[in-house]
Chains A and B, each alone.
Chain A
Amino acid sequence: MRKLAEWQLALPLALAFASIFLAPLLMLVGVSFFNDDKITQPGFGQWAKFLGDPFSYKVIADTMLLGLKTVCATIVIGYPLALIYLDASPRLQKVLIFIIVMPLLLSVVVRTFAWIVVLGREGVVNTLLMQLGIISEPLRLLQTELGLVISLTQIEMPLMLLPLISVMSRLDPNLRDASSALGASRWRTLFKVIVPLSMPGLVAGCLLVFASSTTAFISQTVIGGVRLIYLPLLIWQQSLVVFNWPFAAVVSLTLLVSVLTVVSALSYLGRRSGGYVHG
């Protein structure tokens, strides 16, 4: 009887999930199997068009690579930051968490346009480098993949840090002391104790950053420009400019499947490393 009650409690959420997520997803799959933009002739034409075009594979690969590069950059910068947080006094921790969460309180549009001001030809970075005499001509940072990865790293950083910090602050400090008492160097303690134990947080952060950066339409188009073509730009063009909804559905499903594949691979790696720690 009690079990039944619990099951019933989950019912509203399940119904909401089915009606606002599953049903549209099934419709998306359905729409992708029409040959014409008026959605009248069923067929595999749009899939054949997309999968038969080498350009599509380049766009898929570029999108996934962008996600992976952003993930790597957030780890390289975020992990040391999480370690600093771990060693900081409770007061400093509060300040740090405020700084980490602050970008989330700003609209992504504002953050993206702020990066135009920073990376632009007459932006903060170029002005500084030119005044210091390091460069004589402004560097091209906007509308390059480098500029995009730099800005996405900042924009997505909270998504890496929050799960990482929540897992790391639950680590037993005695383990670190034990490691150094047994003669391990700080680096050895880091790689043999802290990193493996923080793996669940790291993997969760990677999943979030990857999924969010591969689908970050605003940042990709405003900072990257339209010469860097990723799947979200194609979806936008096909659904809202050209009105070819079946083709847009094909690209959307491709993005969904590609992101899910990488995300599953990451969480598989996470589970394996978890087994290694506890096994």
Chain B
Amino acid sequence: MFSRRRLLAGATALGGAAFLPSIAHAKGSVAAAIYPGTWEEAFRAIVAPALKKKDSVDLELQPLFAVDQVAKAKAARGAPPFDAFVLDPGPRITAIQDGLFDKIDIKKISNASKLPAGLVDEWGIGVNAQVVGIAYNPKKVPAPKGWKDLFTDPWVSRLGITGFQTTFGTVSLIEIAKVFGGSETNIEPALVELKKVLPKIAAVGQPAAMPGLFQQGQCDVIYTNTQTVATLKGRGVDIEFVKPDTGAITFLTTLHIAKGAAEVENAYKYLDIVAGKEVQEALTKPPYNFIPVNKDVPLPDYLPMKNLDEMSSYVRHDWAKINPLRAGWIEKFNKEMAK
């Protein structure tokens, strides 16, 4: 039989065990969600040691795509499994609308002054820019000039496309729609044109599978970002980036502090170090090939622009308008493209 004393002793031991993780936290750690793949490798190799060295804070990385982070944080209802998000514009807006972020106090991020205006707001900071355009294999096809070329030979029969699941896929399809008379909120013309050439198209794939399909020669023209192109090139793949004649697309990747985060102060330190010159410069180098946003860091020479200001002429999109339409677009894409 359990005596009251033994029960209490057991309960105290259990209660004590529950405190263990927070003791570990007290030594200094921060849990940050990170995109799987290049981002995870880069942050593990560069950001984690930098944060440990400067602030003695351990960085625990949780590899999750943007949409997965939002889904997990929503499901956790106020007790997020990580302290910081890394997001693209679409999921960022969803997360703001669902109240998943804490507002940030910009005074706590000293490197914020090194970021161009527009990269810092009440919800977080931009730490990386993505530039999306057309990638092609120069040994197989000539360089296309713009989105319209992708629908004619020789490109169309070597074209690999993805749908609206990702940010880069969505913005590319919007730009295609614009070329054929559509707009940011009307993607119909893109689907009409795609349907016409569908039997010829080389691949309609999952976004994550596209680099592999390109590498294997299944398709020789895709829409993607400069980082993917630089990474594949680094592995010896024949690939070149083209800025479409209607303009390259750009969007920001932003860091945010989760509402209810366990380690708010360490999360600030994490945001600060990622925006800093040292980390930004290291992330720019191969094999990571990030586009830096810190004004003190020079841009790598393979990029289609000379400086960050030039990017202001690039095409941007309003995700507050896109998000509500996206579910319908995904459904439509399924039905139109299904065999």
Contact = CB atoms under 8 A, between A and B. Distances in A.
A188 interface: no
B218 A121 contact: yes
A222 B71 contact: no
Interface string B62-77: 0001011011001000
Given A228-B339, A242-B330, A222 B206 contact: yes
A116 B218 contact: yes
Contacts of A240: 65, 67-68, 71
B218 A120 contact: yes
Contacts of B208: 222
Interface residues on A, range: 20 to 34
Contact of A237 (B94, B165, B339): B165
Interface in B156-182: 162-165
A225 interface: yes
B13 interface: no
Contact of B213 (A116, A237, A241, A244): A116
B218 A226 contact: no
Contacts, number: 82
Interface string B46-72: 000000000000000000010110110
Given A58-B338, A243-B71, A225 B330 contact: no
Interface string A236-248: 0101111110000
Nearest to A244: B327
B322 to A, nearest CB: 13
A30 to B, nearest CB: 15
Contacts of B70: 243
A222 B218 contact: no
A234 B327 CA distance: 12
A123 B216 CA distance: 7
Contacts of B204: 143, 225-227
A40 to B, nearest CB: 13
A121 B71 contact: no
Interface in B300-339: 326-327, 330, 334-335, 337-339
A29 to B, nearest CB: 17
Interface in B94-150: 94
Nearest to A142: B218
Contacts of A122: 216-218
A139 interface: no
A82 to B, nearest CB: 33
Contacts of A17: none
B217 A221 contact: no
Interface in A33-79: 55, 58
Given A222-B206, A241-B67, A242-B330, A55 B216 contact: no
A221 B209 CA distance: 9
Contacts of B71: 239-240, 243
A113 interface: yes
A237 B218 CA distance: 24
A225 B216 contact: no
Contacts of A234: 334
A241 B209 CA distance: 17
Contacts of A58: 338
A239 B72 CA distance: 11
Contacts of A226: 162-163, 204-206, 334, 337
A116 B339 CA distance: 20
Nearest to B335: A55
A122 B334 CA distance: 27
A241 B330 contact: yes
Interface string A207-239: 000000000000001100111110000100101
A240 B72 CA distance: 9
A117 interface: yes
A62 B84 CA distance: 41
A145 B162 CA distance: 18
A242 B326 contact: yes
A116 B203 contact: no
A226 B71 CA distance: 22
Given A120-B217, A121-B217, A229 B68 contact: no
Nearest to A241: B165
Interface string B195-219: 0000000111110110011001110
Interface centre among B68, B70, B212 (most CB of A within 10 A): B212
Nearest to B217: A122
A222 B68 CA distance: 19
A237 B330 contact: yes
Contacts of B67: 240-241, 243
11 contacts: A121-B202, A121-B217, A121-B218, A142-B203, A222-B208, A226-B205, A228-B339, A237-B334, A240-B67, A243-B67, A243-B94
Interface of B: 65, 67-68, 70-71, 74, 94, 162-165, 202-206, 208-209, 212-213, 216-218, 326-327, 330, 334-335, 337-339
When A and B form their complex, which 6 residue pairs have the shortest distance between CB atoms, in order from nearest? Answer: A122-B217, A120-B216, A242-B327, A221-B206, A227-B204, A222-B209
Given A228-B339, A243-B71, 14 more contacts: A116-B213, A116-B218, A120-B213, A120-B217, A121-B216, A121-B217, A121-B218, A122-B216, A143-B205, A225-B205, A229-B334, A237-B165, A241-B326, A242-B327
